Chains A and B, each alone.
Chain A
Amino acid sequence: MINFTYVRTTTAKAAVGLLAKEKNAKFIAGGTNLVDLMKRGVTAPDRLIDINAVPLKQIELVGNMMHIGALATNTAVAEHELVKLHFPLLSLALQAGASQQLRNAATVGGNMMQRTRCGYFYDTTMPCNKRAPGTGCGAITGYNRMHAIFGGSEQCIAVHPSDMCIALVALDSTVVLSGPKGERKLKFIDFHKLAGTTPDKDNNLLPGEMIIRVEIPTNKLAAHSYYVKVRDRASYAFALVSVAAGLELQGNKIVDVKLAMGGVAHKPWRLLEAETFLKGKMATEANFKSAAQIAMKNAKAYKENAFKLKMAPNTLIEALNLAKSKA
């Protein structure tokens, strides 16, 4: 059998220390993705460091910042009163993800760390630059219906699978990391990366680093937030396209707006240009349509995902409509 050692730890400091000791060690919390990857032979860590007992489950307002610990479960966050009150967008996005059973086990940190669902990544007999760099991309000329239309590279067109992260990137979140050299903060938008020439790396975590918490600044978007996820079945399916939309309205005037898209890129896809266009304008169908057009700049489709070129802007309009009309 492929053996690995398993160790439990109770503090973040100890966890980071343990991670540094072994080259091929991984943290495990909910294990909802890692265990699958191990079963399928995609990954084979020598050591699993169980961090479930590390006290990082907090969900609290600290001044004007919402702090969510890396080990808070998806369900705990989605159902937390403060989250529902101040960041309904995050709650909605979480509830659109996976299934209730998975959300009960999955953690915030684990959700950020989940790997793509690209079929070529999971089948170890197929080419995949993400799993086995240099073997080629199975999807570029293969089955790419689920794949990226933004920011793809010649080496990988896989998409980031999370719903939670789409809301977090829209909400200007920050990630707090702890590593051998101490703590650092990273803007959420910079946490995940595009595939580029290193598709095997999903994010900008440095070796030995651990996710401690996510911080979300308070905002005035709660009254007009919506998460729309278009998928092949009503639950337990990954997004074809999803949109997180938050509006701050004065009358029908858009004072502030946050927009991000899922299912379209190797990372949660923030739509800053569309936001800039909408700010100060009226929340009208015409402006939503123009924003959607702007959002689609530089989109590139492959053989089987050309539908996303229509579905993505449409879903953005739908999300803006629903956010606007939400009482």
Chain B
Amino acid sequence: MKIKKLLIGSASMIVAATGAKAADPVVMIEPVTANYVEACDAFGSGYFFIPGTETCLQIGGYVRFETKFGGIQTGSSLDNDWYPYVKTNLAVTAKSATELGTLTSRMVPEFYFYSNGTGDDFKFDEAYLEIGDALAFRAGYIKGYWNEDLWGELDNIDNVSRYNSIRLAYNGADHFQIALAAVGMTPDETGSDGELAKIGLSGRLGYVVSDSNYLKLDTAYDTYNETYAVRPWAGFGIGPGTFEIAGLYASGFIAYVPDFTSANWDDLADR
């Protein structure tokens, strides 16, 4: 209160001073900035306020050293096919509360070094902005639902499904998940000749109570190849663990699902 009075006092003094002699001394009071980082608990753990702003920031990620061996999609029966690689994943998420809901931006660059001749590599895991809460609009390079796998990562019921996309998704406290995404698929991903992107569509219907109890249905449609895929899956907490089962049907070649024919398999010409 005292400071406020002082400020008002000094302000009226400035007004008075401008009306009088310009030589009167004016004392400016600098606002005091905090010299520590404040935790932000509005969006879960790990967030802190960017000093001097209302924006909360979180930094996460991982460092991985992995050795891969074999592979049923390598098109080779070579027995001694193995290589190590290293991967770093850095996830930077910024969130702030707005009148339209939570405004989010997230960027997750990944750097690799492979010992199989590929050398170093750069990829995005995700890079998007999003606005909304239970119902949210997301745009950017989105890691889609088809990227999700069962816990064990056998990795042949999912595929790398990251696209430049727009997505409207509902993730309610009532456990329902409803999402629709329109994605730009590259010529490589559709097998088209040109340099233009083709549109893909994907959807998710889910009832997800937890990682151990869920029902999910993923769908995808490739407008260029006019192919579709569906993937129903479910998880049940049984005994000490969780049983998961997933089914998959693809009407033809579609980038959302693993391609066990075409170039991956030597014995096969058609898709």
- Bound pair (A, B): no
| Interface residue ranges, A against B (CB under 8 Å) | none
